[in-house]
Structure 1
């Protein structure tokens, strides 16, 4: 039922559409797609011609009448599958609600992220975490998992702003305390000159942390709106104008991305770099809220295949809407 609904919905929005592009968009094999298309044709819900499949009046009626029920039952799965397939990432988990709405929170995201992390970390032992309110909501829902005592949590980069409870060092320590693991801290000022940065890199503490970044097994990070993150960091007017001129939309671990997923600016810091992502086996990106959809989309366009996105319905639906309007 889920497959038939998804294929019928895609034919409605994209028809006439051929079987191969339909399979790619739906995330199904060509064999599965052929079976579904034949069933829908036999039920006279679609027409199949040389130019592709189109929906019939009966098909429109089925979507109109069954849509609310199917969306209620399978809506999140459909959204997750579409996003996963479109960006070719490892997985997508969607929780209820919209954290951008009044009364919305990151608690459901935190609960889901904790569960996904504990189930997927396996033998991973070096875990880098970023700062931010979404990351801060995860540790309270995390309990010990097999081998947790051998895990080392490290900050993916320095803290942001004056809220010490949302800085990466503190959150890494909170993760460690939640599951009886260990952690290491890295104290790096939010802004250093190029010369001071070069000197800092020669410090033993920095060199040891760089070695850990090279061998990280997992990165847990949030995604922020570019403008809001620049303001939170008290970026000077010149930097904010630079981000505007380069159409920055999203930010993650100190990198700013435009709508095409390209890096348009990044902070000079010691921490996870984009080149590390290709080598990290598990990347958990956690962000929700319809207001963040554009920022999340900018990150996903350049995301590595081992990325697992954990988001909410508000963000997921808006991401799909943005993709439909591309």
Structure 2
């Protein structure tokens, strides 16, 4: 396929550009659900005049439906996008990066979506859609699935659809609640995923950041202890990854610990653990939920994170060596590849 693409790039470069343009239009409409022409034009950086011709063509092909409320993708359009995705990834140059990152870190699968999810709401939604597809593909019946919080995980939850195998599953938070917007907390993400999947869920109503005395007190409570044991039955975990210093601020880590993390070169945070460039754990927050040893025993660990600033953090977590699948975006992948080849 790559040989054919190379020939097309030389002899028919306009053809590939047209395909990328039309794919981008269909992808934006798929993610948006229903969207107006003006909004779509702004989103993809086009003019309404240019967009009108492309939209008319896609409608004639039966790929789009247009009514008073806006444009929406047809079933035929959805099928076409699924079939063409591997080809488009080759055109964007993402397949080569997926293979490089997968092989270098010994992962089972790497999925890279176009764009930068830190600056593009569309790319953020596409990252969530890709993460949801991976979860649907890998989930098994009667599985307990632990999930973390954050804006990317909230997008994954929003994009999740039911499958027959998921209806017998349980979704649970990987840890207690972070002191941030309710919609971004692990409890909310777990509940949303369960509702979208037609599955069941259990929640953990405890703060994420605890002092040692409060932590020891909570885990003695019979109800809390029972839920924690249930969470630790999880065989799949779906989690985000963050920049260490950004997450330390969000989690209101004390100044002394924050300074220590900076001195020791902390780059990444995941599950309440802070990692340096080599993947070594520098610090563990006293949190209720999954422990690192639980993660190590999982059947499937899926990390989902994107954005240029997350590149180094993702590398640090991958070097810890216990991820199975990475779902990321083009901007983060470029930073990961740069770190591997520099």
TM-score category of the 2 structures, normalised to the smaller one: 0.7 to 0.9
Alignment match, 1:218: 236
Aligned 8 A contact 2:139 2:165 in 1 = no
Question: 2:299 is matched with which residue: 255, 262, 281?
Answer: 281
Question: 1:188 is matched with which residue: 206, 212, 224?
Answer: 206
Alignment match, 1:37: none
Matches within 5 A, 1:63-74: 73=91
**d(CA) in 2 for partners of 1:179, 1:100:** 27
| TM-score, normalised via structure 1 length | 0.75
SS in 2 for 1:300: helix
Aligned 8 A contact 1:132 1:168 in 2 = yes
Alignment match, 2:279: 261
- Cα distance, 1:103–1:70 mapped onto 2, change above 3 Å: closer
| TM-score, normalised via structure 2 length | 0.72
Question: 1:108 is matched with which residue: 103, 118, 126?
Answer: 126
**d(CA) in 1 for partners of 2:129, 2:170:** 21
**d(CA) in 2 for partners of 1:152, 1:307:** 21
Alignment match, 1:130: 148
SS in 1 for 2:93: helix
Aligned 8 A contact 1:109 1:312 in 2 = yes
- In the TM superposition, residue 74 of structure 1 has moved relative to its aligned partner by 6.4
SS in 1 for 2:267: strand
**d(CA) in 2 for partners of 1:124, 1:247:** 40
SS in 2 for 1:234: coil
- Which is richer in helix? 2
Unaligned runs of 5+ in 2: 6-86
SS in 2 for 1:147: helix
Unaligned runs of 5+ in 1: 6-68
Question: 1:296 is matched with which residue: 311, 314, 325?
Answer: 314
- In the TM superposition, residue 71 of structure 1 has moved relative to its aligned partner by 8.3
Aligned 8 A contact 2:116 2:124 in 1 = no
**d(CA) in 2 for partners of 1:124, 1:228:** 36
1:82 aligns with 2:100: yes
- Cα distance, 1:209–1:320 mapped onto 2, change above 3 Å: same
- In the TM superposition, residue 222 of structure 1 has moved relative to its aligned partner by 0.3
Matches within 5 A, 1:27-38: none
Alignment match, 1:320: 337
1:149 aligns with 2:167: yes
**d(CA) in 1 for partners of 2:292, 2:219:** 18
**d(CA) in 2 for partners of 1:279, 1:190:** 22
- Cα deviations across residues 99-150 of structure 1 (Å, max 9, x unaligned)? 2335564201110111111111022510000010000001221111113221
1:202 aligns with 2:220: yes
How many aligned positions are there? 261
Matches within 5 A, 1:2-13: 2=2
- In the TM superposition, residue 290 of structure 1 has moved relative to its aligned partner by 1.2
**d(CA) in 2 for partners of 1:103, 1:286:** 16
Pick 1 or 2: higher relative contact order, CA cutoff 8 A, min separation 6: 1
